[in-house]
Amino acid sequence: MTSGKSAKEESSSPGCMEIFAFSIALIFLLASCFFIFQAIRSFQQGETFPLLCLSFFAVVLAGFSIVATYNIGKTMLIKHTLETDLVTGGPVVTTSLFGKTISTKTGSPPRKIELNLEAPATRYPPSIVTLHHAAVIGLSRRGGMKWYRYPASLIEGPVAVLGAIQVIDFYQIVFKEETITGKSETSVEFFVRPGPRCKAKINVLQERRIIEIVCDWDERRLPYGIPLYTLAEELFSRYYFNTPWIMLREIMKDAKNQGLGDIKRLGTVWQTSPEHATALNDDSDKFKRFMEQLQMQHPELGAALKEKSLRAIPKRDDESLTIEQQKQAIKQLFSTDWSKKARYDRGQSK
């Protein structure tokens, strides 16, 4: 018996930027071919130095252009079709290239995750507690991926607590993917929907913005809810100009405006006021125990919260700059009133 399906096609039609990038990649590919041709000619003529120089440029350009052409071309030419199985209610995602199916992901019906976790009875909001907790355990110190755990923790912590107090709900779909090569694998993906308490008045910056994204989600885009990765990604793109520094600054400013502490080291380190430190240390312990319970009772969800939050952080070239260049970049970011700029941008778009 064949089950009925309602189809929704999402074609990855190329935009102007994709076409431009693809053209540049093709130009680089042609340039690398030219350098290879010149290197062969130099070798035939016995010219060693031009051979070495041209070979270097040829290898670099060829590697870059092949990778870029492949990735951009794959984005432009691959088409995804989303169907809902009318019998099971589960999604079926078909990926095709040049009209030929290359993979099919069949999902189980969305299953609501009952956390059955008591939210930590903290005195301060989750994002403020997470900010203090991250500073205490040293995540605010510069150090590659360790530093990137700082903004990631400011996403996963509030999202987890909002789920525990039923402001948002988590749903799980188990996907089985079969590819054209016969390879088969199973994966679990998590989605977020508004919970029964989504209308609760929460006037803390980070939590309010997370709730706005979840409640504004267009179900016509994806009826199962907003994926965890997309939630974190939209948090940056909608409110923080795709820059983790701005998210840190805004959350620190929110805490500072409440008189809870101060911002140090050009806006990269939070320092809690002594009069609030004891209460926040107590809240931090409660928060830590809550996250440990989440990991124990729902390990897949806990791992997904960490991984998706970390992966959604926009990566910049700041890490390759010198210390002085980093300080100048940070100073420039933190001297800009982004709230005014956001209001101006929204006014221009109207």
Can you give the three-state secondary structure of 238-260, one letter per residue?
HHCCCCHHHHHHHHHHHHHHCCC
For residue 337, pLDDT beyond 80: no
Residue 335 and residue 198 in one domain: yes
Mean per-residue pLDDT, 12-32? 60
Residue 137 and residue 50 in one domain: no
Side-chain-side CA neighbours of 30 within 13 Å: the count stands at 6
According to DSSP, the residues that pair with 192 across neighbouring strands are 170, 226
Residue 205 and residue 290 in one domain: yes
Q: Quick one: what percent of the chain has pLDDT higher than 90?
A: 44
Residue 67 and residue 122 in one domain: no
Residue 65 and residue 192 in one domain: no
Residue 70 and residue 122 in one domain: no
Alpha-carbon span 335 to 327, nearest angstrom: 12
3 in a domain, yes or no? Answer: no
- 89 Rama class: left (phi>0) / alpha (psi -120 to 50) / beta: left
- 4 Rama class: left (phi>0) / alpha (psi -120 to 50) / beta: beta
Residue 221 and residue 140 in one domain: yes
DSSP state of 182: S
More confident residue, 135 or 140: 135
90 in a domain, yes or no? Answer: no
Residue 282 carries which side chain, given as an amino acid letter?
A: D
The average confidence (pLDDT) of the chain is 78
Tokens of residue 26, six digits: 């093709």
Tokens of residue 117, six digits: 């976790």
103 in a domain, yes or no? Answer: no
pLDDT at 207: 96
Domain end (from 59, 76, 93) = 76
Residue 214 and residue 65 in one domain: no
91 in a domain, yes or no? Answer: no
Residue 163 and residue 307 in one domain: yes
Residue 214 and residue 331 in one domain: yes
> Is residue 17 classed as helix, strand or coil in its secondary structure?
helix
233 in a domain, yes or no? Answer: yes
Domain count, the chain: 2
Q: Which domain holds residue 241?
A: 111-171+188-345
> Is residue 184 classed as helix, strand or coil in its secondary structure?
strand
Domain end (from 60, 76, 92) = 76
Contacts 24+ apart (CB under 8 A), 94-100: 100/180
pLDDT in tens, 38-61: 667 766 676 665 555 656 656 666
35 in a domain, yes or no? Answer: yes
Mean per-residue pLDDT, 274-292? 94
Residue 133 and residue 281 in one domain: yes
100 in a domain, yes or no? Answer: no
Residue 72 and residue 156 in one domain: no
DSSP state of 141: S
pLDDT in tens, 181-205: 888 999 999 999 999 999 888 889 9
pLDDT in tens, 306-315: 999 999 998 7
Domain end (from 76, 95, 129) = 76
pLDDT at 59: 63
